[in-house]
Structure 1
Amino acid sequence: MQYTTTYQSPLGKILLAADEIGITGLWFEDQKYFAWKLDSNHEEKEISVLKETKRWLDIYFSRKEPDFIPPLHIIGTEFQKDVWKILRTIPYGKTMTYGQIADIIAKERGLKKMSSQAVGGAVGHNSISLIIPCHRVVGTNGSLTGYAGGIDKKISLLKLEGAFKNSFYIPKHSTTP
Structure 2
Amino acid sequence: MLFSVHLSPLASGVMSKSFVPDDFDPPRGLSQPQFHLVPLDVEHNESDHAAWTSSIAHIRSTPGYESGKWPPSGGMSLEENRGDLERHAHDFAERSGFTFTVLKPRTAEVLGCVYIYPMTDGEHDAQIHSWVRADVGMLDSPLHSAVSSWVAEQWPFGNVRYAERSS
With normalisation by structure 2, the TM-score equals 0.30
Q: Please identify which structure carries the higher strand content.
A: 2
With normalisation by structure 1, the TM-score equals 0.28
Larger gyration radius, structure 1 or structure 2: 1
Higher relative contact order (CA 8 A, sep 6+): 2
